[in-house]
Structure 1
Amino acid sequence: MTTRHVTLGLDGSDESAAAADWAAREALLRDLPLRVLLVRAIPEPPVPPGPRRAALSAWAEDRTRTEAGRLSLRYPGLRTVREQPAGIPADVFAEVSAESELLVLGSRGLGSVRGFLAGSVAQATVARAHCPVVLVRAAGDPPGGERGGGPGGDVLAGIDPLGPAADVLAFAFRAAELRGVPLRVLAAWQLPGPYGLYPGLDPGFTDAEAAECARRLSEAVAPWRDKHPAVAVREIPVHGNAAERLVAEAATGVALVVAGRRTRRSRLGAHIGPVAHGLMHHAPTPLAIVPHD
């Protein structure tokens, strides 16, 4: 039987160091071992056996040993395992995600060049991972916060009131329950098609759209309220762009944002969707992106 882990992806950057603290706390909350993983990225062209490859292996071994040791001292009771596989980082992360409870990476947002996890690797990993991926900003990274995103504050989940939400809500309710904090569930609605171009529409029309969003949101949340009666839930039906409204809500006492991305693939490869993409750019807190059908 394969042991489930919380997997931490390191790259030596400040972002992955901040993610390490978040991952350690999460592993303790879930009573799971923490896999500390640093991918020895395959250079192009491949480096032949010799001093350079040996130095890279030694650095990776030392980096994971040092970080695992630091975390074990800071978080008593934490169980760690260390791995330094060679490969293409996004490929390795996608593979290990199949046997992980969740995968935790550091991120400064897609526009940054600091840390190899901050841009294309994080995006490719999110698009292909089999488990939820949590992106954590470094301390002091605008809009900042406690190192690794502190444990206090609500959990905020964003769902599509017209789409499947079970996987996102399952993750969000459990995250709130483990932390003993309230859960906010936000669903955004917009006027369909050309109606959004006419601000003078009959208020009854927009009221009906708002009521429909609220109804669908309540229907989606109801089964999970029953399964997690200890979690205090606030439903937030809002008008506007979903990513923008989630970012604004996240700035008001939220410790973790949870959103989904479809697992469907196109001829151009896997995609994460506009909401997850927007949150990867702008979410001010740790962000969990949950794959769903």
Structure 2
Amino acid sequence: MSREIVAGVDGSPESLAAADWAAREALHRGLPLRLVHAWRWEPLDLPLLQDPTEQQQAARGVLREAERAVAERHPELPLSAEVLGDTPVAALLDTTKHAELLVIGSRGHGAVAGFLLGSYGQQIIADAEVPVVAVRSRDGEAAEPPAGQILVGQHGTPEDSAAALGFAFGAAAARGAGVQAVRAWSLPPLFAYSPGSLRLADEAGGLVPYEEKALREALAPWRERYPDVPVTEHVELGSAGQVLLSRSGAAQLLVVGRRARRGALGARIGSVAHAALHLAPCPVAVVPQEVDAQD
């Protein structure tokens, strides 16, 4: 079955920005765009007049407005729109079965919002089987600079960040952009390094060269797969979230991986993804990796 890009809309500036960004991304990738609005009649236990037909028409109106805006800006884009009769979380997760990626709106400097509020956005990002992109709003348009690199965080072994790196290189190739790969590291506690780890660091010439070597090794297969994508490397002492945010101002997209940890309080997306979604000024792509169960 053919793949598509899906954007959720609710009429807010954030969701309209998400639709605008998703349209441009669909053109970059040569894919169709599907706009969706989740609505299900659930009468409230209140002494108010509640008309399901009127509410359904309002939902369709929201979708028509978004569809019209996208079609006017991108008339050449294959476009469809649909009202989904389910809750936002269930409806949008269901769309990812045939999606290349899912795009949602974000207010920034707060919880993921737009057509989703609070834990809904986090749940979708944590449970989606495809990358989810959160887009900032600037007067109803995506707050994305016209140029800039794709910024991606790399950590651990090459396998640990393969999904995020693959997404970043694919996005850069589609856009004709470069990739800036960032690896943050911190000084280990006094007894944290094993003799084997210390030996590897010594062989590399010290901790900084060791981290630089680890980044080069993680990037090697993607450089080979995408030889036309320019790559810059950056290794810095500090927390991954802080280092990535400090370099996100000039990026057109920030890509981070996430491991969803499910516990008694529900799904969590990890501290780096959490920081990026709340504070990065550019769109943020959260790419699923392996899932860790609660200990």
The TM tier, using the shorter chain, reads: 0.7 to 0.9
Partner of 1:250: 248
- How much identity, in percent, do the aligned residues show? 39
> Cα gap change, 1:222/1:63 in structure 2, threshold over 3 Å: closer, same or farther?
same
Match status 1:160 vs 2:160: no
CA displacement at 1:284 relative to structure 2: 0.8
CA displacement at 1:126 relative to structure 2: 0.4
The one-letter code of the counterpart of 1:153 is G
Partner of 1:270: 267
Question: Which 5+ residue runs of structure 1 have no aligned equivalent?
Answer: 197-203
Q: Per the alignment, in what secondary structure is the counterpart of residue 51 of structure 2?
A: helix
Question: Which 5+ residue runs of structure 2 have no aligned equivalent?
Answer: 193-200, 291-295
Distance 1:113 1:129 in 2: 15
* 1:1-293 → structure 2 map (5 Å cutoff): 2-41=1-40, 43=42, 45=44, 52-109=51-108, 111=110, 115-139=114-138, 147-162=142-157, 164-194=160-190, 208-251=206-249, 253-263=250-260, 265-266=262-263, 268-293=265-290
1:109-154: CA deviations, max 9, x gaps? 362596442532221110111100000011169xxxx744244211
The normalised TM-score by structure 2 is 0.86
CA RMSD of aligned residues (A): 2.6
> Cα gap change, 1:59/1:111 in structure 2, threshold over 3 Å: closer, same or farther?
same
Partner of 2:195: none
Distance 2:191 2:281 in 1: 32
> Cα gap change, 1:42/1:242 in structure 2, threshold over 3 Å: closer, same or farther?
farther
> Cα gap change, 1:249/1:44 in structure 2, threshold over 3 Å: closer, same or farther?
farther
> Cα gap change, 1:114/1:215 in structure 2, threshold over 3 Å: closer, same or farther?
closer
- Decide whether the 8 Å contact of 2:101 with 2:133 is kept in 1: yes
Distance 1:66 1:3 in 2: 26
CA displacement at 1:192 relative to structure 2: 1.8
Distance 1:213 1:30 in 2: 33
1:10-36: CA deviations, max 9, x gaps? 122111111111000011111111110
- Decide whether the 8 Å contact of 2:9 with 2:115 is kept in 1: no
Distance 2:148 2:55 in 1: 40
Aligned length: 278
- Decide whether the 8 Å contact of 1:107 with 1:118 is kept in 2: no
Greater mean deviation of Cα atoms: 187-196 or 217-226: 187-196
Greater mean deviation of Cα atoms: 14-23 or 36-45: 36-45
1:40-87: CA deviations, max 9, x gaps? 15546489xx96211111111122122212212211311111111122
- Decide whether the 8 Å contact of 2:18 with 2:136 is kept in 1: yes
Distance 2:171 2:177 in 1: 9
Distance 1:93 1:226 in 2: 35
Q: Per the alignment, in what secondary structure is the counterpart of residue 59 of structure 2?
A: helix
Greater mean deviation of Cα atoms: 34-43 or 123-132: 34-43
The one-letter code of the counterpart of 1:216 is A
The normalised TM-score by structure 1 is 0.86
- Decide whether the 8 Å contact of 2:105 with 2:112 is kept in 1: no
